[in-house]
């Protein structure tokens, strides 16, 4: 068990989503796990967190560890409401941030527009200096010029500054000095040097990452500081850790500096939770699918490990700004329970990406919403219950949803309300299936061979329909899916990721040199964990390398076992790379020589994991008391409303088997079992669904 300085016994995890704020709390003294959910308060996020704590009856004074994930970073980038930011860059390279990679994916689109930089050209300043590609000095840094620029920025009330100097991943001395001067001249400004976030080559990706960090920095740092103060005021005397985009934990003081590492913190935690379920059930491969109120996300667990990437494009491929940090390989679409449906020019029906969020929320929430959403469609079709939403704590208004659906969608399209609602769900399902395809089919993986683990408050409503769309035969609805990203944080470990660009031919590789680089990164990670207040159960090192065939531009990341280095086996490394390349691209070239571009190390401080106790055993027949009611639910395969049994999930037992159509209700989610589906409750209370052939 991890040794903690505090006396509390609660490990508290809170995830802020676009619509709801979720809580999962693990009491290490009793082994009990409790949950909470409240609407997100976007004007004052801390209020939503406290509402969730109060609703779950969790006292912060009894906590020893507070874990937090939030959408604040990604939302700030997408909504473009970050700090007024400037960029300092090597002389002659002022425009690389705007030029980018000159990607034009749609060559014949007359309305195509490039990405829009977060920093306008007027706030990009050149720095007189230059390093060579090997990090040696070519031109000394002009410190006086840096000071003049810093004073000009101060006079313009610039809040944040990003620094990108060429080849700083080899030698960060100039960047360190520029940052020091900026901090001297502009006390209080948020300053990011690119080498602090990325020590890889590719100057456009590094400058984009550094700018993004500075752009979100003042807002995110202030929010985390406010939350830290709130916790202290409520008697919390433990440690505050944030969740990174890798699903790992890092101290809040690091999160306030390297804010962009929290980019996909909530979704990443969900994938960690799915990985924990895979480990419990001995399941090697799974798709982790999360649908909340605003977006739907998908990731992959392959051979028991989540797939990760070294970069991501924020804002869609054609307009994207790259972020070059380690993160879960997650694809996201703007479709959630709150996604707004509208009729556009030409009588076309569109769903999302605009969302009603938590304020005003879907029409049926009764909080002032006027535009029908996916949640409204589910209520109209009988898949949600007016009186049992969130366990009956939050009433829904069917009449308001029907009126809005009729006025805004059904009448303009010449449909009745039921067909309009069904059409909205069909479009939403198709859009969400794209997220699953993006992390499977487009990665060279056969989606049909994976089990899809579905969670998020809205995920189980659509799980069966999405599986049918893609050809997936097995779906698993985990314990407490409506709180699953927060629940996944309880399984997160301390994590530090390091990367160094090396550019070596594999055939001429010096294993001693490579071992020294790996060892240096591992020592750095061990020191970071040793500096933590938390003493993990164990420290684990994972090695990988970015490799490519000689002459290629882009590399693939290959996990490398320790035996490769002990045996100094170049042939085994090459064969492993060929295999990974074949999976990713459908082809490989075993006879072609390869390069190692970058070396990667992940350092994990393993934390104690919450237990998942078996549920009570029963027979195949469900208990009569588990059947709460029967109600009419619309299924497209039947073409009408069908009398459907509604089960209470907490009364289902291990071994119970039942067939669709059915609904399974729990406090924060409802599972739709389509006609033709078969559900079996497993030993841990997961709903394992075998998908039928009916399309509903």
Euclidean distance between CA atoms 691 and 678, whole angstroms? 7
User: How much is the average pLDDT of 91-115?
Assistant: 79
> What is the predicted pLDDT for the residue at 319?
65
Question: In which band, very low, low, confident or very high, does the pLDDT at 299 lie, cut at 50, 70 and 90?
Answer: very high
* Mean per-residue pLDDT over the chain, rounded: 91
Residue 4 has pLDDT above 60, yes or no: no
pTM of this structure:
0.89
Which structural domains are found in the chain, ordered by start? 77-220 (3.40.1360), 339-426 (no CATH), 494-606 (3.30.1490)
Answer whether 524's CB lies under 8 Å from 572's CB. Answer: no
Question: In which band, very low, low, confident or very high, does the pLDDT at 355 lie, cut at 50, 70 and 90?
Answer: confident
Residue 248 has pLDDT above 70, yes or no: yes
Q: What are phi and psi of 13, to 5 degrees?
A: -120, 130
> What is the predicted pLDDT for the residue at 3?
42
Euclidean distance between CA atoms 314 and 334, whole angstroms? 13
Q: Which tokens is 501 given?
A: 């660009």
- Which is more confident, 535 or 685? 685
pLDDT tens digits, one per residue of 555-590: 989 998 878 888 888 899 999 999 999 888 888 999
Residue 684 has pLDDT above 60, yes or no: yes
Euclidean distance between CA atoms 691 and 688, whole angstroms? 10
Specify the DSSP class assigned to residue 410: I
Q: Which of 102-106, 181-185, 389-393, 472-476 is predicted least confidently?
A: 102-106
Answer whether 597's CB lies under 8 Å from 555's CB. Answer: yes
Specify the DSSP class assigned to residue 675: T
User: How much is the average pLDDT of 249-255?
Assistant: 93
Query: For residue 516, how many other CB atoms are within 10 A of its CB?
Result: 10
Question: If residue 88 lies in a helix (H) or strand (E), which one and from where to where?
Answer: strand 85-90
pLDDT tens digits, one per residue of 137-175: 999 999 999 999 999 999 999 999 999 999 999 999 999
Residue 2 has pLDDT above 50, yes or no: no
Q: Residue 687 forms beta bridges with which residues?
A: 477, 681
Residue 5 has pLDDT above 60, yes or no: no
CA dihedral 162, 163, 168, 169 (to 10 degrees): 0
- DSSP one-letter string for 119-159: S-GGGEEEES-EE-TTS-EEE---HHHHHHHHHHHHHTT--
Listed residue (661, 656, 663) closest to 685, CA to CA: 656
Question: In which band, very low, low, confident or very high, does the pLDDT at 1 lie, cut at 50, 70 and 90?
Answer: very low
User: How much is the average pLDDT of 475-490?
Assistant: 93
Using a pLDDT cut of 70, give the percent of the chain over it.
Answer: 97
Strands 331-333 and 296-302: antiparallel
Euclidean distance between CA atoms 45 and 693, whole angstroms? 44
Highest mean pLDDT among 7-11, 22-26, 532-536: 22-26
Q: Residue 21 forms beta bridges with which residues?
A: 16, 38
Query: For residue 177, how many other CB atoms are within 10 A of its CB?
Result: 17
> What is the predicted pLDDT for the residue at 494?
93
User: How much is the average pLDDT of 526-547?
Assistant: 90
User: How much is the average pLDDT of 354-365?
Assistant: 86
Euclidean distance between CA atoms 303 and 686, whole angstroms? 21
User: How much is the average pLDDT of 6-35?
Assistant: 87
Residue 532 has pLDDT above 80, yes or no: yes
Question: In which band, very low, low, confident or very high, does the pLDDT at 311 lie, cut at 50, 70 and 90?
Answer: confident
């Amino acid at each position: 068990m991890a040794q903690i300085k505090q006396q509390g016994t609660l490990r508290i995890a809170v995830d802020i989503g676009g619509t709801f704020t979720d809580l999962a709390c693990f009491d290490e003294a009793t082994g009990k796990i409790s949950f909470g959910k409240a609407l997100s308060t976007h004007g004052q996020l801390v209020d939503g967190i406290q509402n969730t704590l109060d609703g779950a009856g969790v006292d912060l004074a009894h906590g020893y560890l507070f874990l937090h994930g939030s959408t604040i970073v990604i939302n700030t980038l997408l909504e473009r409401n970050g700090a007024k930011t400037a960029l300092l860059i090597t002389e002659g390279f002022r425009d690389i941030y705007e030029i980018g990679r000159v990607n034009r994916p749609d060559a014949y689109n007359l309305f195509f527009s490039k990405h829009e930089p977060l920093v306008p050209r007027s706030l990009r300043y050149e720095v007189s200096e230059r390093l060579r590609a090997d990090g040696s000095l070519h031109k000394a840094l002009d410190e006086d010029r840096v000071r003049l620029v810093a004073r000009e920025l101060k006079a313009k009330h610039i809040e944040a500054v990003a620094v990108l100097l060429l080849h700083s991943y080899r030698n960060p001395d100039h960047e360190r000095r520029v940052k020091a001067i900026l901090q001297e001249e502009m006390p209080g400004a948020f300053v990011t040097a690119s080498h602090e976030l990325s020590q890889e080559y590719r100057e456009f990706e590094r400058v984009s990452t550094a700018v993004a960090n500075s752009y979100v920095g003042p807002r995110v740092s202030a929010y985390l500081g406010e939350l830290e103060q709130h916790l202290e005021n409520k008697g919390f005397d433990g440690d505050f850790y944030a969740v990174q985009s890798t699903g790992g934990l890092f101290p809040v003081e690091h999160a306030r500096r390297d804010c962009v590492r929290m980019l996909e913190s909530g979704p990443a935690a969900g994938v960690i939770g799915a990985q924990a379920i895979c480990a419990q059930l001995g399941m090697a491969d799974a798709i982790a699918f999360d649908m909340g109120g605003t977006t739907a996300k998908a990731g992959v667990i392959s051979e028991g490990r989540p797939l990760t990437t070294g970069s991501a494009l924020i804002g869609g491929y054609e307009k994207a700004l790259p972020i070059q940090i380690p993160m879960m390989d997650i694809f996201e679409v703007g479709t959630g329970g709150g996604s707004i449906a509208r009729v556009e020019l030409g009588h076309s029906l569109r769903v999302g990406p605009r969302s009603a969020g938590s304020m005003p929320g879907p029409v049926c929430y009764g909080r002032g919403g006027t535009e029908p959403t996916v949640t409204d469609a589910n209520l109209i079709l009988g898949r949600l219950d007016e009186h049992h939403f969130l366990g009956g704590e939050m009433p829904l208004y069917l009449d308001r949803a029907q009126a809005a659906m009729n006025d805004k969608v059904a009448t303009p399209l010449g449909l009745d309300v039921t067909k309009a609602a069904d059409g909205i769900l069909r479009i939403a399902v198709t859009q969400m299936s794209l997220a699953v395809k993006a992390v499977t089919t487009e990665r060279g993986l056969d989606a049909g061979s994976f089990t899809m683990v579905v969670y998020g408050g809205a995920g189980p409503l659509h799980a069966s329909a999405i599986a049918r769309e893609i050809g997936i035969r097995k779906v698993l609805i985990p314990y407490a899916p409506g709180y699953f990203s927060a629940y996944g944080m309880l399984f997160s470990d301390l994590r530090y990721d390091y990367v160094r660009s090396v550019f070596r031919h594999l055939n001429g590789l010096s294993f001693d040199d490579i071992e020294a680089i790996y060892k240096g990164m591992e020592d750095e990670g061990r020191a970071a964990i040793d500096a933590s207040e938390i003493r993990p159960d164990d420290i684990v090192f994972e090695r990988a390398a970015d490799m490519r065939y000689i002459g290629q531009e882009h590399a693939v990341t290959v996990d490398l076992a320790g035996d490769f280095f002990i045996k100094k086996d170049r042939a085994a490394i090459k064969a492993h790379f060929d295999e990974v390349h074949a999976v990713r691209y459908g082809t490989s070239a075993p006879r072609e020589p390869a390069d190692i571009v970058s070396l990667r190390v992940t350092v994990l401080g393993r934390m104690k994991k919450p237990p998942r106790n078996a549920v009570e055993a029963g027979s195949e027949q469900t208990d009569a008391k588990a059947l709460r009611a029967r109600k009419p639910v619309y299924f497209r395969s039947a073409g009408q409303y069908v009398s459907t049994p509604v089960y209470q999930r907490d009364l289902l037992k291990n071994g119970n088997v039942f067939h669709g159509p059915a609904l399974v209700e729990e406090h924060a989610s409802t599972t739709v079992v389509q006609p033709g589906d078969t559900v079996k409750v497993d030993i841990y209370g997961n709903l394992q669904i075998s998908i039928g052939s009916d399309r509903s």
